[in-house]
Amino acid sequence: MGSFALHAARNYGVDVVGVTLSGEQATMAGKRVAEAGLTDRVAIRVQDYRDVDDGPFDAISSIGMSEHVGREQMPAYVARLHGLLRPGGRLLNHAISWNAGPTAPDPDSFIPRYVFPDGEMLGLAEMVGALEAGGLEVLDVEALRRHYALTLRAWVQNLEDHWGDAVQAVGEGRARVWRLYMAASALGFESGTTGVNQILVQRPGGAEPPLRRTAWL
């Protein structure tokens, strides 16, 4: 937690507000911000995104959030982010997608039951449609499915290499759950059942976006 905020502040000189519902995440991120000497540029809050009221913002990154919003609440989610952007402001929505057609994951299967209860992944087309229906213009889409398969394999190996430390920290039961979850997720990304997509959208108005992707960096 906090890595994206630190990267943006350190490398691009921006002021960042990070919000999370996890007190532990906020504490860790705040510690990293202080160690980096960036407390004047980065603020980390324990806050629901629906309660953020100090916009408008030039840009918003929603990372791994919309999977927990779900299909029913997606219009309200998009409307809230639209309202927090200034005209011409951009949103990067980073989310896991369900690529296996109209059949949804079984809510009583392992991952929904033990890791991410009530999570609901949308397909790429449905997510793009929701963002467009909320008045946001799509500028770019990047698929990261293969990258995530490699990342999860590396995470599983790292857990195996430090298994004793993990068991001591959280107990064998929880460590086994997360080992199985990450291994299963790697298989899902490798097979294409699940994907990860970054969708860049813009609230209309303001300056026109650059014509080339490299100009956004």
| Greatest Cα pair distance in the chain | 54
Q: Are 182 and 159 in contact (CB under 8 A)?
A: yes
pLDDT in tens, 125-179: 999 999 999 999 999 999 999 999 999 999 999 999 999 999 999 999 999 999 9
Q: Is the pLDDT of residue 213 over 80?
A: no
- Distance (Å, rounded) from C-alpha 182 to C-alpha 177? 9
Q: Is the pLDDT of residue 198 over 90?
A: yes
Show the tokens assigned to 152: 């999860």
Give the chain's domains with CATH numbers.
1-47 (no CATH), 48-216 (3.40.50.150)
Within 10 Å of residue 38's Cβ, how many Cβ atoms? Answer: 18
Name the pLDDT band for 49 (thresholds 50, 70, 90). Answer: very high
The 3-class SS string of 126-182 reads HHHHHHHHCCCEEEEEEECHHHHHHHHHHHHHHHHHCHHHHHHHHCHHHHHHHHHHH
The pTM of this model reads 0.90
Beta strands 194-202 and 85-98, pairing class: antiparallel
Give 119's DSSP letter.
Answer: -
